[in-house]
């Protein structure tokens, strides 16, 4: 489902957009949507966990330490307590 929005643009840029859309036989909406998709693909920060290990340990503290490290690396705050 698409939603309507309003953007503000310099008149010269709006004219260029209109000419480009006409030459490309598409709509200004389609050009703007493609531009936003491309921009976000190039600039969106993707957080990846460098390493995740699953295992068993007789030292119960390791799972707590590992969970804290994973939360820190993922950029999430630890719950209070």
21 part of a folded domain: yes
Query: What domain count does the chain have?
Result: 1
Residues 31-37, mean pLDDT to the nearest whole number: 96
With respect to residue 26, please indicate whether it lies within any of the assigned structural domains.
yes
Mean pLDDT computed over 68-80: 66
Domain range for 29 is 11-43
pLDDT of residue 44: 81
Residue with tokens 């006409």: 22
Counting beta carbons within 10 angstroms of the beta carbon of residue 31, is it exposed (0 to 12), middle (13 to 18) or buried (19 or more)?
A: middle
pTM above 0.75, yes or no: no
- Is residue 59, in this structure, part of any structural domain at all? no
């Amino acid at each position: 489902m698409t939603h309507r929005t309003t953007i503000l643009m310099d008149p010269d840029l709006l004219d260029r957009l209109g000419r480009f859309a006409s030459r490309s036989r598409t709509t200004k909406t389609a050009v703007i949507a493609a531009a936003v998709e491309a921009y976000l693909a190039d600039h969106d920060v993707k957080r990846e966990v460098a390493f995740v290990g699953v295992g068993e340990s007789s030292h119960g503290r390791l799972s707590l330490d590992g969970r804290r490290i994973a939360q820190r690396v993922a950029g999430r705050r630890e719950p209070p307590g």
